[in-house]
A and B are shown apart, each in its own frame.
Chain A
Amino acid sequence: MKNEIIIAGSCGQGVLLAGVIITQTAIEQNLHTTWFPSYGAEVRGGTANSTTIISNEEIGSPIASNPDVLVVLNELSLNKFMPTAKEDAVIIANSSLISSNIQCNPKTYFVALNDIADLEIKNIKSANMVAIGALLKILEKKHQDKTCVLTLENAFKACRKIFSQKSNLIESNRKALQAGYNFIV
């Protein structure tokens, strides 16, 4: 089992953090994992992406030239990374910001990440965590071998670790993960 996950968006959307949560979740399950960021000099705006690789074997390159999972939070990132994704890649597109008429892989999951974050969590900034929750459910449904599927429970654990210095953020991030997870049926 190996997943090469690229999460991309604009700076400030939390694409690096979203990758960190997945990476930490993989650690909780004793899987091999790497995380690699790429971003410009901007704090907001510009483009940012993170690559997370998860495998039950040792990982060579930490860079994914053909990802099999793509989570895109804005249209610019969709256009940039869609051509690089594998043919049968799992793609989550943030339909709050991306028109669903856009030409892309027929299996793309259009999820209104910003709207879910805004309405259910009352915090639009947690759209990244909604995306991770949705991704966990999709991968859970897709993978036959359940031993290496990342679980929501371990994502909660990862949240507690990553936000251990900012414990007030744990609950809303947990809720956002849950909301994304529940959205996919």
Chain B
Amino acid sequence: MKKLVKGNIALCEGAIAAGLKSYFGYPITPQNEIPAYLSKKMIELKRVFVQAESELAAANMVLGAAVTGVRAMTSSSSPGISLKQEAISYMAGMELPALIVNVQRGGPGLGNISGSQGDYFQSVKGGGHGDYKLIVLAPNCVQEMYEMAYDSFDLAEKYRIPVMILTDGIIGQMMEPVDFNRPEREKLLIPNWALDGCKNRPPRSLKSLLMKDGDLEKHNFALQEKYKTISQNEVKYETFEISDADIIICAFGIAARISKSAVCLARKNGIKVGLFRPLTLFPFPSKEISELSQRFKNFLSVELNHGQMVEDVRLAVNGKANVEFLGKAGGGIVTELEILDKLKNFL
């Protein structure tokens, strides 16, 4: 039978099943269930749990663990994720696999502890300095918190890239029945680039400081090639009731849950609406949205912010369809009825 757990706990279980070896964190609501749960569970499993002295320290400890080739993660919420950006940029530069979880809360600044989606730009457009990308996953239910945490490590290692799970205080705090259906990963190989002691082999190095003439330029080209490959291979999305739709709602995470209810409500009111939900925010399903814009002429981006993903929807649509926006930030939650009103005024 499925187990009733919070999103934050399901995420921990997914990471543990995937072979998470070391967790480094610092408390902040609404993600505190993650360090609280792992502080007990990781010790029981004889794995590493460290409550660091700060977010900066925690993120850099993840970097330190990742260079040794073990599965490492950290988690925080919006203001804490801002503090981790330096290390995230370094990890992207050093091509280190790791998992970073952002259980978003209201911003800017210290904001409040309500769920929000205000960190879309920060997650998909960089966040730290330099030209880099993270793979960004956006779960919309507790089951996906578990599954995406589990899958994130394979993805991170496949491309040697930090993966971010971008979720929010609502998905993190809510409970739903979960099927813990993934096999426990036991014997994980240490990758052939890891710094695991150079006895009987030439020493290796991992760094993001590339001072020799032309090296950094070459490195950046290689990174961009990698991001291109990821964009070709790893896009994930879901559609709901789009075949006969007059309007397509684009939404991710919790906004997609609310939008799905709104689609059902709108259809009861005779408005043909469909839902397009990106599961990956980078790589963004631009090609798919572009194709849809050949057939569908109205798009509505629904977000718990003041218009972030809508910019990527507009880029993908590229003027071929009408794109509108509905959103709230700072803990405000868009309701199905508000979406319905917007849809009514659309046509």
Contacts and interface: CB of A to CB of B under 8 A. Distances in A.
Contact of A60 (B170, B177, B264): B264
A34 B258 contact: no
Contacts of B333: 63
Interface string A47-86: 0000000000000111101100000000000000000000
Interface string A19-38: 01001100100000111110
A172 to B, nearest CB: 21
A67 B333 CA distance: 16
Contacts of A61: 257-258, 260-261, 335-336
A139 B177 CA distance: 22
B286 to A, nearest CB: 26
A34 B175 CA distance: 6
Interface of B: 1-2, 4, 170, 173-177, 254, 257-264, 333, 335-337
8 contacts: A35-B174, A36-B175, A60-B259, A60-B260, A61-B260, A61-B336, A62-B176, A62-B257
Contact of A35 (B175, B261, B264): B175
B170 A35 contact: no
B1 A36 contact: no
Nearest to A161: B4
Contact of A36 (B174, B260, B261, B262): B174
A36 B142 CA distance: 11
Contacts of B176: 33-35, 62
A37 B173 contact: yes
Contacts of B263: 60
A34 B258 CA distance: 13
A156 to B, nearest CB: 16
B335 A27 contact: no
Interface residues of A, number: 15
Given A23-B4, A27-B4, A65-B336, A36 B264 contact: no
Contacts of B264: 60
B258 A63 contact: yes
B261 A60 contact: yes
Given A33-B177, A60-B264, A24 B258 contact: no
A36 B257 CA distance: 13
Nearest to B263: A60
Nearest to A51: B174
Contacts of B257: 60-62
B1 A34 contact: no
Q: Which interface residue of A20, A24, A34, A66 has the most chain B CB atoms within 10 A?
A: A34
Contacts of B336: 60-61, 65
The 9 A-B residue pairs whose C-beta atoms are closest, nearest first, are A60-B261, A60-B260, A35-B175, A61-B258, A61-B261, A36-B174, A65-B335, A27-B177, A62-B174
A34 B178 CA distance: 11
Nearest to B264: A60
A63 B174 CA distance: 10
Contacts of B1: 27
Given A20-B4, A24-B4, A27-B4, A63 B170 contact: yes
Nearest to B258: A61
Nearest to B338: A65
A23 to B, nearest CB: 6
Nearest to A28: B1
- Chain B CB within 10 A, most for which of A20, A27, A34, A62: A62
A67 to B, nearest CB: 12
Contacts of B170: 36, 62-63
B264 to A, nearest CB: 7
A36 B258 CA distance: 14
Contact of B337 (A24, A27, A36, A65): A65
Given A62-B170, A63-B333, A35 B258 contact: no
A99 to B, nearest CB: 31
Given A60-B264, A61-B257, A34 B337 contact: no
Contacts of B174: 34-37, 62
